Amino acid sequence: MKSVTLAESPYRIQEGRIVRTRQMTPMEKWFEISLAGGRPLDHEPGQFVMVSVPGVGEAPISVCSSPSRRSSNWWFGNSAE
């Protein structure tokens, strides 16, 4: 079995910065997020990420941008009525 260091792990925490936001509907908001160092997310179509905000919580979020883009577009929606 191949040994993997934490730095190579796809499960490591990566810090990001919100670059832009847009209110799409009263209950949905679009975010463009760039990872530290300008790294790409390196995701595959259909994958999701866990987004954590310290002191607030975390949630699984679908990525809606192309895997080849440097920044990622994420769509947050509140399905609760």
The number of angstroms, rounded, from the C-alpha of 69 to the middle of its chain's C-alpha atoms is 13
What local confidence, expressed as pLDDT, does residue 69 receive? 62
Angle 19-24-28 from CA coordinates, rounded to 5°:
90
What local confidence, expressed as pLDDT, does residue 79 receive? 47
Cα gap 59→67, rounded to integer Å: 21
Q: Give the predicted TM-score (pTM) of the model.
A: 0.62
Query: Residue 11: pLDDT band by 50, 70, 90 thresholds?
Result: confident
Query: Where is pLDDT greater, at 65 or 80?
Result: 65
Residue 39 lies in a domain: yes
Residue 30 lies in a domain: yes
Q: Which residue has the tokens 């790409």?
A: 40
Number of domains in the chain: 1
Residue 37 lies in a domain: yes
For residue range 14-73, list pLDDT tens digits in order.
888 888 888 988 888 888 888 888 777 777 777 888 888 888 888 888 777 666 665 566
